[in-house]
Amino acid sequence: MHDFVYYTPTRIIFGKNTEQQCGGLIKARNCGKVLIHYGGQSALRSGLVDRIKASLTAEGLSFVTLGGVVPNPRLSLIRQGIELARSAEVDFVLAVGGGSVIDSAKAIAYGAANGGDVWDFYMSLRKPDACLPIGCVVTIAAAGSEMSSSTVVTNEESGFKRSFKTDMARPVFAVMNPELTLTLPAFQTACGCVDILMHTMERYFGHGSNMDITDSISEGLLRVVMHHASALRDDPANYESRAEIMWAGSLSHNGLTGCGSDGGDWATHMIEHELSGMFDVAHGAGLSAIWGSWARHVLPERPDRFALFAERVMGVARAESNTVTGLRGIEAVEAFFRSLRMPVSLKELNLAPSGDQIEEMARKALVGKAHIGSVKKLLQPDIAAILMAAR
Ligand code: NZQ
Ligand code: ZN
């Protein structure tokens, strides 16, 4: 088992009507002026933003609002948010939405607390000294940003989608009411379930040594998410399944399933970020379209690990070799993604990138890095080969 630090400072308030507690949670931190940040439509249409405003008003808090965050959140709106946060002198940022809104809120919180251009942090040009406190009301179980240290932002001018992490951006609280996710379209629910699975799978595959406790938590989480993802496909109004998926989404990306690992692989995520940066695809759908091609490309490096995964998570019987067992596990994952009506190729994602576009994505994935991935250290030809195979 590798040495590790496990740090999860986020207070979780889980259950029905919990959004009514937002005002009290912020007041308890002695903050008085809040930026409420939300997405395109869903949080306004459902009345959620109004309920949150009422909760803040009841506690004597004042607020300004900024909506309009789109999936793959854009730097231009973040810049507007930073100006607003500075001019209104806000001391707390409340994200009401999914990963895109929470990540946009984290960027605003960095930008408002530091001078200069916030994009510098995402391009590793300098580090922030501070970050405003962030809280969130989660409306989709997916990215796990409510407990993670990361924020992922798209610079629409350069086409770069980049992540940045520090513990300063971990939300101080996350309000999680599974009922809020009942209005999700089936496609977004399925995208979220894929992302949740991938956050643990990225950590499961690497070059770690023995880690029975973490493996066992991860394998259990993956089986539970697959079970309830299927249940939600058939019965989207099932509260219990919504609740299981929502909590799994946080546990899958708060570091728990990576304790003792080598940090995990993350190449599928890195390659997906290039796809999203170029084609603006839904993150979960991009992941499912690429994962099988990545897995086949790197299988020869860790057939033992792929075989273990196939057996324990996908219920595949041991075959004559780890490679064959591993391959059957990969096929089982793709069959599962298909059962959720998620794409397992770029074609199924309605994309047909040219050879030049594939080379461009492979090149961009390595800007500022010597390689990506852990199972196999991927260089530009590997990344291009994975994208070609995914076509
Ligand atoms: O804008 P609205 O109208 O709210 O619509 C959203 C959006 O179109 C909709 N939605 C959200 N809650 C809803 C709802 N529709 C109906 N009812 C509700 N209750 O869902 C759509 C997708 O929302 P988004 O926030 O984009 O989804 P998700 O949580 O999957 O976030 C994706 C973003 O997170 C990043 C991704 O790269 C992507 O940019 N990630 C962030 C991570 C992190 N910070 O730790 C880790 C992840 O790996 C991921 O990279
Ligand atoms: Zn993800």
- The residue ranges of every structural domain in the chain are 11-180, 184-390
Q: Quote the pLDDT of residue 210.
A: 75
pLDDT number for residue 217: 98
Q: Give distance in angstroms: CA of 280 to centre of ligand 1.
A: 13
- Going by pLDDT thresholds of 50, 70 and 90, the confidence category of residue 208 is confident
Q: How confident is the model at residue 391 (pLDDT cuts 50, 70, 90)?
A: very high
Looking at residue 66, its pLDDT comes to: 98
Closest residue CA from atom 47 of ligand 1:
143
The response to whether residue 280 sits with its C-beta less than 6 Å from ligand 1 reads no
Q: Is the pLDDT of residue 209 over 80?
A: no
Q: What is the pLDDT of residue 159?
A: 87
Q: So what's the pLDDT on residue 240? A: 98
* Minimum-distance ligand 1 atom for the alpha carbon of 153: 39
Report CA(152)–ligand 2 centroid distance (Å): 10
Protein fold of 11-180: Rossmann fold (3.40.50)
Pocket test for ligand 1, best of 283, 287, 291, 342 (most atoms within 8 A of CB): 283
What pLDDT, on the 0 to 100 scale, is given for residue 104?
98
pLDDT tens for each residue of 59-71: 999 999 999 999 9
**Closest ligand (CA of 164):** 1
d(CA 282, CA 143): 11
The reply to whether ligand 1 has any atom less than 6 angstroms from the CB of 181 is yes
Position 226 scores a pLDDT of: 98
Interval between CA 122 and ligand 1 midpoint (Å)? 19
Instruction: Give me ligand 2 centre to Cα 63, in Å.
Output: 31
What is the predicted pLDDT for the residue at 73?
A: 97
Kindly report the average pLDDT of the chain as a whole number.
97
297 lines ligand 1 (CB under 6 A): no
Cite the DSSP H helix spans in the chain: 22-27, 42-45, 48-58, 75-87, 99-113, 119-122, 186-204, 212-234, 239-251, 267-279, 283-298, 303-312, 322-339, 355-365, 380-390
Which of 19, 69, 100 has the most ligand 1 atoms within 8 A of CB, as the residue to mutate? Answer: 100
DSSP SS3 for 18: helix
**pLDDT, tens digit (0-9, with 9 covering 90-100), for 257-311:** 999 999 999 999 999 999 999 999 999 999 999 999 999 999 999 999 999 999 9
Contact 207, 374 (CB under 8 A): yes
Give the number of the ligand closest to the Cα of residue 43: 1
Residue 280 CA to ligand 2 centre (angstroms): 14
Q: Is 269 in the pocket of ligand 1 (CB under 6 A)?
A: yes
Sign of CA dihedral 293, 299, 301, 307: positive
Ligand 1 within 6 A of CB of 142: yes
pLDDT level of residue 84 (50, 70, 90 thresholds) = very high
Q: Which fold has domain 184-390?
A: Dehydroquinate synthase-like, alpha domain (1.20.1090)
Q: Strand order in 134-138's β-sheet? A: 11-14, 173-176, 134-138, 92-97, 33-38, 62-66
Q: Is the pLDDT of residue 351 over 90?
A: yes
Backbone angles phi, psi at 116, to 5 degrees: 75, -170
Question: Which amino acid does the sequence have at 242?
Answer: R
